[in-house]
Amino acid sequence: MAENDAAPEHDAAAQRSTVALLGFFAHELAAFGHHLETAVSQFTETGALPGSAYAEAPPPAKRGRGPQKRERAKRKPSAFNHFVKERIEEQQRKVKLEELQGNGEHGAAPAPRAAAARAVQAWQGVPCCF
């Protein structure tokens, strides 16, 4: 008995959806018909082809993406950024000098993360191996 009760509700919902869809089509066709009417009169008067009905429509929204990021001006490097960059370059020069003098192992440059970690420790005042 429950199955029979659900069927009329489903039919009514389907009919409402169909009516809404037909209303949408009627509205869209009326707008397109108006555009065609305007285009014919413009062509008759000027002899020039009118613009497309679809050219004015905005592009469809892209799904899954958040708001567009605006372009920002790049910030000036801070004192910390300058310090870390100088320390890393200093470590790299030290390794190259040792290689040239034959005191260091070939290719013994510190890994970028390790070099950055040492530079940050120096910035924080933590004693490290400079």
Please report the pLDDT score of residue 1 as a whole number: 47
- Asked if residue 32 belongs to a domain, the reply is yes
- Asked if residue 110 belongs to a domain, the reply is yes
Tokens of 42: 């413009």
Angle between helices 79-101 and 112-124 (to 10 degrees): 120
pTM of the model: 0.39
For residue 104, pLDDT beyond 80: no
Question: Number of helices (H) and strands (E), helices first, in the chain?
Answer: 3, 0
- Asked if residue 60 belongs to a domain, the reply is no
> Which residue has better confidence, 75 or 57?
75
Instruction: Say if residues 107 and 114 touch (Cβ distance below 8 Å).
Output: no
pLDDT tens-place string over residues 15-74: 888 888 888 888 888 888 888 888 888 889 988 887 777 766 666 666 666 677 788 888
Confidence of residue 83 (pLDDT cuts 50, 70, 90): very high
Domains: count for the chain: 2
39: containing domain: 6-52
Cα separation, 105 vs 92, whole angstroms: 13
- Asked if residue 59 belongs to a domain, the reply is no
- Asked if residue 73 belongs to a domain, the reply is no
Instruction: Say if residues 121 and 84 touch (Cβ distance below 8 Å).
Output: no
- Asked if residue 117 belongs to a domain, the reply is yes
Percentage of the chain modeled with pLDDT above 70:
74
Q: Hey, is 15 helix, strand or coil?
A: helix
